[in-house]
Amino acid sequence: MDNMQIYNQLTTPPAEAIKPIQGGNLKGKSDINPQWKIEAMTSVFGPCGIGWKFNIADEKTFQCGDGQILLFLTVALMYHDGEGWSEPVYGCGGDFIVEKNKNGLVPNDEAYKMCLTDALGNAMKCIGVAADVYRGFWDSKYGESRRTEAQAAVQPKDVKRNEKVTSYQLGQLQTLAKQKGVAVDSIVQGYKLSKLQDITAAQWAQSMNSLRKRADV
């Protein structure tokens, strides 16, 4: 398997999975829908528990001096590569399980869920999930032109000419084509294909780069 094959399949989220952060220390950055990350993993490896899985590797709480309590989780993510399970890929997440607000100290019943979501996302990004976002291509401070220019510069150097694409990559192409106002049928006809599913990895990469250069409708 090409070293970048899995990474490249997971790197670009659809536009509807991205939301700009409006306030706080991360204002101007981009928030990624956590359910999309699960969808991306499932599209490449199969259902959770069969093609990929995780367990809680560590759990710690820390007492803050003001009565607040911090919770930290570490997850071990593993994925199936067709021959066996990968080594664990670790990710950490944290949040307040007891926090202070204007009403005093209050429990946060969402803390475990938020920590788990955070930890899984940090593990997933190690294998490429939403890598374009973490590289800054979607951040508002870079602007649409910066993202388009950087993504368009990506060339399919190691793509085999007749290699087929995954269902997830097909979804990426369809989503981007819709965003740019391009009919998928025109792509099929342009490559003289009988259906979109026949597109090769090289044709997919060429189409994605071409679409990214177009203005949104």
pLDDT digits (tens, 9 = 90+) for 99-126: 988 888 999 999 999 999 999 999 999 9
Does the residue 38 lie in any domain?
yes
Q: Could you give the CA distance from residue 120 to residue 143 in angstroms, rounded to a whole number?
A: 28
At 145 the pLDDT is: 42
Does the residue 141 lie in any domain?
no
At 153 the pLDDT is: 42
What single-letter DSSP state applies at residue 17? G
What single-letter DSSP state applies at residue 195? S
What is the average pLDDT score of the chain? 81
* Continuous H helices in 27-182: 34-45, 111-124, 131-134, 143-152, 167-180
Higher pLDDT, 172 or 85: 85
Q: Tell whether 119 and 166 lie within a shared domain.
A: no
Q: Average pLDDT in the 3-15 region? A: 79
Q: Which amino acid is at 134?
A: Y
Domain boundary among 102, 134, 166: 134
pTM here is 0.64
Q: Tell whether 164 and 96 lie within a shared domain.
A: no
Q: Tell whether 123 and 183 lie within a shared domain.
A: no
Q: Find the CATH number of the domain harbouring 116.
A: 3.30.390.80
Q: Which helix (H) or strand (E) holds 61?
A: strand 52-63
Q: Could you give the CA distance from residue 28 to residue 30 in angstroms, rounded to a whole number?
A: 7
The model's pLDDT over 70-97, given as tens digits with 9 standing for 90+, comes to 999 999 999 998 789 999 999 999 999 9
The model's pLDDT over 123-166, given as tens digits with 9 standing for 90+, comes to 999 999 988 887 776 654 444 443 444 444 444 444 455 677 77
At 178 the pLDDT is: 82
User: 216 is written with which tokens?
Assistant: 């949104």
At 79 the pLDDT is: 95
Q: Tell whether 74 and 116 lie within a shared domain.
A: yes
- Which residue range is the domain that position 101 belongs to? 5-134
Q: Tell whether 130 and 74 lie within a shared domain.
A: yes
Q: Which of 20-24, 30-34, 79-83, 171-175 has the lowest mean pLDDT?
A: 20-24
Q: Tell whether 24 and 98 lie within a shared domain.
A: yes
| Number of domain units in the chain | 2
Hey, is 66 helix, strand or coil?
A: coil
Q: Tell whether 16 and 117 lie within a shared domain.
A: yes
Higher pLDDT, 58 or 82: 58
Q: Tell whether 161 and 119 lie within a shared domain.
A: no
The answer to whether residue 67 scores a pLDDT higher than 70 is yes
Does the residue 85 lie in any domain?
yes
Task: Name the range with the highest mean pLDDT among 16-30, 152-166, 178-192.
Answer: 178-192
Closest CA to 191 of 169, 162, 171: 162
Does the residue 61 lie in any domain?
yes
Does the residue 159 lie in any domain?
yes
